[in-house]
């Protein structure tokens, strides 16, 4: 009996499927309902990794199954091709980002084909191709026309050595991840998309997404962060101005023991600018960068301005006015009143600076007289106490009462606040989509006329100089103003790569359309995606941006579809055992041999190896497995079957 010849058989069928265009899909097939299966598209880093293998195998089972059930299935694939790694590769290896990217795409395409995946390759897209990004430049112009895109100064992380803006992820312990230099907070003019305008719609839309995991919907809910609060003014004693605070807990007003403002609040400099230690305090604050997470984690730091504010309800009660490192200027008003008993950050701050910690919300079952906090704030439910006219009330009732009293006194008003900020899309990078705008000294900011699209990247580019490579290019930015004809300069910023991934699923519907991103009838036919598969790490950025982008496109007449993804499947991470040698360095699983007695040794040096925790596969921990090796030896079917049989994909795979 002939042994099964994997290599030959798998190649034979892959050729046949390709020759017969087995998975090429027509739009609008008579008598068949459409079904759109999509896995999140990959960044072409060079080789597929095991996370890809699991992702695409899952999607392939769904696609082939639905096809067998009689659906008109579309199962497209493409490349999320712009981004920083290509520029880093250019700097490190001297290869042009475009050449590096397309070479990787070629390798990975072959790897995917060797897995026997049922993709419709006729719909393949590479986001770095002008054939793709010309259409998103047009979309941006339409957003601009409709008031959904605007320019504004905002605070960014500035690396003074590299002379460039850093994303929050590139700031490590307050320093640039490559230069190691302390990062500064600077203001820069940037382009924004008005996602905040859709905050309520995006929030309410979550209720319709029953096919999404609860966890992801909750994450989006929290990211949008709608809260009802109170905005009101505190009188600063012996000073002409008031300080306006925002709070989501007006009920705790009687527990306030200080007021704090952000380091970049206009009052900060005014009140304390001439005091000793102010300058170095501000520097310490700026070193944290702009990442909310970093600020949240850092030790609480405060600077007493020396001024005090009067309590709105307690005659004669004055509270100190501090500048604090954990107050953000762009949330609320950049000022708060601190209630240490009921807010953890305020608790840490008060503990450090010896400020009063006064409980005013008593949990069920406790007595106001005997209630004691242990070593942290209490932010749960309860009834008001030690609070004058609020005593005995439930939190929500107390909130409303405080709001109406403040409104009566004309000191402020109730307000709805959102945590979500407008989406800043400017990046000072080369390997990204050029933003199609022109800066004219006379006319200001002028959109590139549609008939001049696409604005393409120059091929000759140098990464020798620090700063934006497009800005440094001697001639690329020189152009003439479309309005007055005088000499003008192109916008040298490029789009955040999330811009491309916000509409790629719509492009697949009409991938070869040269005139527009997609014909409306094709998008309206195929969308929404019926089954989307990808990692949960995209829960709040990509998945929220895409939901917003579809609504923005809909507002501009591109499509009637507002929600891009009907059902979502998110997977855990791929984990593996880790190994360390005697000096504590990580070792690849391939270089480790298991002995008969169960111990491990290095395959070549023979030294003793210790097996460590099973954690997420990571290149730095060297616990990665190259799926290509597995496929070369066992074939695609075995690799696929293994991935499918291991464990439910919404848990971490080991």
Partner 1 sequence: MLRGSLSFLIHRQTATLNEGAWRFINKFYATTQDFIKAQHSLDADAPSGLSDDSKTLRALTHKTAAQIKDDITNFHMNKAVARCRELYNAITGFKAVNDDDNWALKEALEYLIRVMNPMIPHVTEQLWQDFGHTENLYDAPWPLTDESLIVEDTVNIAIQVNGKLRATIKMAKDIEKSDAEDSALREPAVQRAIEGKTIRKVIVVPGRVVNVVVA
Enumerate binding residues for partner 1 (CB under 8 A): 1-4, 6, 9-10, 12-14, 16-17, 20, 22-23, 58, 60-65, 67-70, 116, 118, 569, 576-577, 589-590, 592-594, 600, 603, 625, 629-630, 632-642, 644-650, 654
Give the shortest CB-114-to-partner 1 separation in angstroms.
Answer: 10
Q: Is the Cβ of residue 17 or residue 313 nearer to partner 1 in the bound state?
A: 17
Structure tokens given for 266: 């206009």
Give the shortest CB-51-to-partner 1 separation in angstroms.
Answer: 13
Distances (CA, A) of 571 to 61, 333, 648: 15, 39, 9
Give the shortest CB-207-to-partner 1 separation in angstroms.
Answer: 22
Give the shortest CB-368-to-partner 1 separation in angstroms.
Answer: 35
Q: Is the Cβ of residue 67 or residue 265 nearer to partner 1 in the bound state?
A: 67
- Are 154 and 193 spatial neighbours (Cβ–Cβ below 8 Å)? no
Measured CA angle at 204 (ends 198, 207), to 5 deg: 145
Q: How many CB atoms lie within 10 A of CB 647?
A: 12
Q: Is the Cβ of residue 208 or residue 646 nearer to partner 1 in the bound state?
A: 646
Give the shortest CB-222-to-partner 1 separation in angstroms.
Answer: 25
Give the shortest CB-571-to-partner 1 separation in angstroms.
Answer: 9
Structure tokens given for 606: 């023979």
Q: 442: exposed, middle or buried (C-beta count within 10 Å: 0-12, 13-18, 19+)?
A: exposed
Q: 448: exposed, middle or buried (C-beta count within 10 Å: 0-12, 13-18, 19+)?
A: buried
Give the shortest CB-637-to-partner 1 separation in angstroms.
Answer: 4
Phi then psi dihedrals of residue 209, to 5 deg: -95, 60
Q: Is the Cβ of residue 115 or residue 203 nearer to partner 1 in the bound state?
A: 115
Give residue 225's region: left, alpha or beta (phi > 0; psi -120 to 50).
left
Give the shortest CB-605-to-partner 1 separation in angstroms.
Answer: 13
Structure tokens given for 341: 């008993």
What CA–CA distance (Å, rounded) separates 263 from 267? 9
Give the shortest CB-42-to-partner 1 separation in angstroms.
Answer: 21
Give the shortest CB-49-to-partner 1 separation in angstroms.
Answer: 13
Q: Is the Cβ of residue 27 or residue 637 nearer to partner 1 in the bound state?
A: 637
Q: 161: exposed, middle or buried (C-beta count within 10 Å: 0-12, 13-18, 19+)?
A: middle
Q: Residue 85 forms beta bridges with which residues?
A: none
Q: Is the Cβ of residue 49 or residue 477 nearer to partner 1 in the bound state?
A: 49
- 83 contacts: CB under 8 Å, gap ≥ 6: 43, 431, 432, 497
* First-last CA distance in the chain: 36
Three-state DSSP class for residue 397: helix
Q: Is the Cβ of residue 22 or residue 91 nearer to partner 1 in the bound state?
A: 22
- Are 181 and 159 spatial neighbours (Cβ–Cβ below 8 Å)? yes
Q: Is the Cβ of residue 69 or residue 99 nearer to partner 1 in the bound state?
A: 69
State the DSSP H helix or E strand holding residue 531, giving kind and residue range, or none if neither. strand 531-535
Q: How many CB atoms lie within 10 A of CB 627?
A: 21
Q: 367: exposed, middle or buried (C-beta count within 10 Å: 0-12, 13-18, 19+)?
A: exposed
Q: Is the Cβ of residue 138 or residue 640 nearer to partner 1 in the bound state?
A: 640
Q: Is the Cβ of residue 57 or residue 231 nearer to partner 1 in the bound state?
A: 57
- Are 205 and 328 spatial neighbours (Cβ–Cβ below 8 Å)? no
What CA–CA distance (Å, rounded) separates 84 from 613? 31
Give the shortest CB-506-to-partner 1 separation in angstroms.
Answer: 25
Q: Is the Cβ of residue 119 or residue 144 nearer to partner 1 in the bound state?
A: 119
Q: How many CB atoms lie within 10 A of CB 57?
A: 21
């Amino acid at each position: 009996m002939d042994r099964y010849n994997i290599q030959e058989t798998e190649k034979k069928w892959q050729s046949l499927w390709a020759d017969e265009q087995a998975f090429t899909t027509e739009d609008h097939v008579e008598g068949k309902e459409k079904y759109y299966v999509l896995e999140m598209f990959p960044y072409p880093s060079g080789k597929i990794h095991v996370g890809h293998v699991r992702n695409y195998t899952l999607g392939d089972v769904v696609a082939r199954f639905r096809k067998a059930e009689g659906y008109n299935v579309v199962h497209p694939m493409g490349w999320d091709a712009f981004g920083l790694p290509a520029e880093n590769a250019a700097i490190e290896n001297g290869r042009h980002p475009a050449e590096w990217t397309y070479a990787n795409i070629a390798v990975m395409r072959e790897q995917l084909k060797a897995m026997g995946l049922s993709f419709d390759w006729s719909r393949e897209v590479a986001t770095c191709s002008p054939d793709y990004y010309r259409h998103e430049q047009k979309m941006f112009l339409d957003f601009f026309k409709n008031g959904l895109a605007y320019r504004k100064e905002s605070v960014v992380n500035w690396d003074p050595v590299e002379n460039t803006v850093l994303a929050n992820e590139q700031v490590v312990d307050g320093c640039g991840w490559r230069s190691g230099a302390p990062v500064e907070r600077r203001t820069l003019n940037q382009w924004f998309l008005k996602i905040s305008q859709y905050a309520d719609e995006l929030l309410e839309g979550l209720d319709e997404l029953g096919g999404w995991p609860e966890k992801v919907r909750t994450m989006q809910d929290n990211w949008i962060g709608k809260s009802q609060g109170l905005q009101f003014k505190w009188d600063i004693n012996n000073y002409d101005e008031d300080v306006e605070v925002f709070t989501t807990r007006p009920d705790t007003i009687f527990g306030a023991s200080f007021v704090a403002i952000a380091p970049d609040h206009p009052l900060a400099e005014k009140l304390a600018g001439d005091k000793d230690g102010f300058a170095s305090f501000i520097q310490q604050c700026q070193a944290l960068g702009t990442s909310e997470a970093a600020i949240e984690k850092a030790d609480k730091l405060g600077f007493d301005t020396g001024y005090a504010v009067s309590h709105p309800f307690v005659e004669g009660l004055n509270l100190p006015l501090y500048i604090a490192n954990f107050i953000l200027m762009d949330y609320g008003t950049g000022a708060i009143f601190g209630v240490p008993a009921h807010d953890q950050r305020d608790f840490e701050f008060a503990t450090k600076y010896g400020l009063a910690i006064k409980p005013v919300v008593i949990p069920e079952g406790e007595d106001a007289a005997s209630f004691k906090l242990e070593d942290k704030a209490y932010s749960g439910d309860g009834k008001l106490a030690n609070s004058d006219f609020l005593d005995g009330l439930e939190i929500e009732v107390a909130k409303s009462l405080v709001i109406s009293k403040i409104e009566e006194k004309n000191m402020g008003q109730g307000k709805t606040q959102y945590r979500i900020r407008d989406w800043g899309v400017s990046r000072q990078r080369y390997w990204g989509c050029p933003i199609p705008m022109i800066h004219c000294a006379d006319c200001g900011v002028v959109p590139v006329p549609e008939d001049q699209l696409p604005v393409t990247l120059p091929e000759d580019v140098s990464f020798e100089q620090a700063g934006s490579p497009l800005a440094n290019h001697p001639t690329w930015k020189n152009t003439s103003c479309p309005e007055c004809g005088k000499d003008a300069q192109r916008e040298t910023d490029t789009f955040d790569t999330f811009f491309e991934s916000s509409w790629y699923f719509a492009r697949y519907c009409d991938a070869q359309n040269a005139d527009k991103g997609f014909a409306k009838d094709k998008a309206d036919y195929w969308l929404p995606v019926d089954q989307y598969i990808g990692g949960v790490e995209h829960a709040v950025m990509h998945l929220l941006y895409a939901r917003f982008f579809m609504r923005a496109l809909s507002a501009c007449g591109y499509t009637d579809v507002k929600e891009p993804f009907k059902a979502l499947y998110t997977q855990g991470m791929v984990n593996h055992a880790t190994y360390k040698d005697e000096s504590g360095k990580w070792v690849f699983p391939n270089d480790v041999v298991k002995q008969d007695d169960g111990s491990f040794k290095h395959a070549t040096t023979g030294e003793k190896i210790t097996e460590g925790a099973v954690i997420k596969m990571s290149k730095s921990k060297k616990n990665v497995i190259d799926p290509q090796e597995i496929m070369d030896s066992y074939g695609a079917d075995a690799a696929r079957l293994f991935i499918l049989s291991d464990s439910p994909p919404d848990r971490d795979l080991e």
